[in-house]
Structure 1
Amino acid sequence: MIEAQGIILDRGPARILDGYDLRVETGSLLAILGANGVGKTTLLNILTGLLQPRSGQLRVEGSIGYVPQLFQAAFSYSVMDMVLMGRARHLGLFGSPGTRDYDIARSFLKLMGIADLEERGFNTLSGGQRQMVMIAQALTSECSILILDEPCSALDYKNQAKVITTLRRLNRDYGQTIIYTTHAPQHALEAATDVLLMKDARTYRHGPVAEVLTPENLSDLYEVAIDRADVAASPRHTFAPRFVLEDTG
């Protein structure tokens, strides 16, 4: 469980967060949406302890595993090496992984569906594969809270589907508490139990997906008309922006 109260953070003369309150219950899956630069990553960095707010209180019950935005490793680590890095908190300063650590790493590689990549070089993988490796690394730390910053950034539809399906399965089948940022309302609609819409430093909405993720709230969030789009012969729906293009003649 994570509870934040009255979080205030400044960056230079600009106030990024001004009085944010947030409670993430154990076993919930929270999606955070908002425009570029509104402070989504900043909020994640506060929740993970990477940033200290100017004021406010933060209470975390459990350990956190953090998956940053998609990146390449500085050195030619194997997939197994990357996943084993998640065991660092259990090994101590000069410890080295043992049989149990390898077993745990392999169990999460299997859970992510990438056991066959164990010996591959991390930087040779596709974006979607690298993202699965980083999720496996975080889970290998045996964290109780998994936090991901735009896990579907720069991924094609196929790999986005893999990541979102994996997050939903981790939450539903294993009770994993998950927080992730996204620019796609559909990613929240498909997987999340709760949503946080960050409008600006002071204005936000937080609550269950069915109550908060509405066309009206999304239109206000992104300052563009957004409609609900129902899928034919299905109970499912999505959201679509209504772009108004200027006629340049």
Structure 2
Amino acid sequence: MTSSLSLTTLEYGHDQPLFSPMSIHCHAGEIWAIIGANGRGKSTLLDTITGVLPAISGSVHVSGGAAIVPQSFRPAFAWRVRDVVLMGRARHIALFAQPKREDEQQVMLALEALNIGGLADAPFHALSGGQQQLVMIARALVSASQNILLDEPCSALDLANQQTVLQLISNLAHQQARTVMFTTHDPTHALQIASHTLLLLPDGEWLAGATHEVVQEVNLQRAYGLPVRRVQLDDYACPVLAPLFSIHR
């Protein structure tokens, strides 16, 4: 099944539209980063795409199913890690049926892909925030949805695990031809792996397009309200972004 995700003249928000009508089309194998300042509406957009929040106007069309990785998840019961991930297989298991061996195998494959196979029998609530985030990513993977949406997937992760997750996102798009959309507070993540970027700006404006065109110094300064420089390091293919903080002593 081919993945695709389209927003057509979409207006979204809780009471009033946050932005002018938005139209973007995400195709199989593309990675879309959503970046912008705090409170701009990144998570709200994902909620609108998944139907948690109704659109004010316009439409959302998803082909191939969608799985979302939220910023946090607090189950009501003391689930083991493998049980939390197994929830992602729900649409593949018939009503009142028991999970099959294949379902259990998919769970372990997803955990191993994130280097947390050893946590399979650990209580989910006892994990660190970063470990819980990795478990939720594994849950999305086993769903077999062709569109994967991740809300701040690296926010609670150390540098090594950020590398693991960014590589996984790249693999989902380039090796499995899934469509991936993720929000991030680090525009460098967009430069590293995103083919396309949606930049949410003040005053209800937005920019969308190829990452190398959207993630420019002038656009980032407008979005975040401080100077940002793109820096090209020797022996490193991808530029990095350096915010120029002004600290007074």
TM-score > 0.5, shorter chain as reference: yes
Structure 1 residue 124, shift from structure 2 partner: 2.3
Structure 1 residue 21, shift from structure 2 partner: 1.2
Moved over 4 A (4+): none
RMSD: 1.8
**Structure 1 equivalent of residue 157 of structure 2:** 155
Say whether the 8 Å CA contact 2:12–2:48 is kept in structure 1.
no
CA gap 1:72/1:155 in 2 versus in 1, 3 angstroms: farther
Structure 1 residue 181, shift from structure 2 partner: 0.1
Correspondence 1:34-183 to 2 at 5 A:
34-183=36-185
Say whether the 8 Å CA contact 1:215–1:227 is kept in structure 2.
yes
CA gap 1:238/1:33 in 2 versus in 1, 3 angstroms: same
Deviations 1:91-116 (A, max 9, x none): 24433212221122222222222222
One-letter amino acid of the structure 1 residue matched with residue 59 of structure 2 = Q
Q: 1:239 aligns with which of 225, 234, 241?
A: 241
Inter-partner Cα distance in structure 2 for 1:157 and 1:108: 20
Structure 1 residue 236, shift from structure 2 partner: 3.1
Say whether the 8 Å CA contact 2:84–2:124 is kept in structure 1.
yes
Inter-partner Cα distance in structure 2 for 1:170 and 1:123: 27
Three-state SS of the structure 1 residue aligned to 2:145 is coil
**Structure 1 equivalent of residue 8 of structure 2:** 5
Inter-partner Cα distance in structure 1 for 2:52 and 2:97: 24
CA gap 1:231/1:70 in 2 versus in 1, 3 angstroms: farther
**Structure 2 equivalent of residue 28 of structure 1:** 30
Three-state SS of the structure 2 residue aligned to 1:2 is strand
Three-state SS of the structure 2 residue aligned to 1:65 is strand
Three-state SS of the structure 1 residue aligned to 2:198 is strand
Three-state SS of the structure 1 residue aligned to 2:246 is coil
Say whether the 8 Å CA contact 1:151–1:180 is kept in structure 2.
yes
Structure 1 residue 88, shift from structure 2 partner: 1.1
Inter-partner Cα distance in structure 2 for 1:22 and 1:180: 15
Say whether the 8 Å CA contact 1:128–1:160 is kept in structure 2.
no
User: TM-score, normalised to structure 2's length?
Assistant: 0.91
What is the aligned-residue identity percentage? 37
Q: 2:193 aligns with which of 191, 194, 198?
A: 191
**More deviation, 102-111/134-143:** 102-111
Deviations 1:205-231 (A, max 9, x none): 111111111111111111211111221
Structure 1 residue 155, shift from structure 2 partner: 2.5
Three-state SS of the structure 1 residue aligned to 2:17 is strand
CA gap 1:113/1:104 in 2 versus in 1, 3 angstroms: same
Structure 1, gaps ≥5 residues long:
none
Deviations 1:141-195 (A, max 9, x none): 1110110101111323232222222212222222221100000011111111111
Say whether the 8 Å CA contact 1:70–1:151 is kept in structure 2.
no
**More deviation, 202-211/163-172:** 163-172
**Structure 1 equivalent of residue 229 of structure 2:** 227
Structure 1 residue 52, shift from structure 2 partner: 1.2
Q: How many residues align?
A: 246
**Structure 2 equivalent of residue 218 of structure 1:** 220
Deviations 1:127-147 (A, max 9, x none): 332222111111111110110
Three-state SS of the structure 2 residue aligned to 1:16 is coil
Three-state SS of the structure 2 residue aligned to 1:15 is coil
One-letter amino acid of the structure 1 residue matched with residue 98 of structure 2 = S
Structure 2, gaps ≥5 residues long:
none
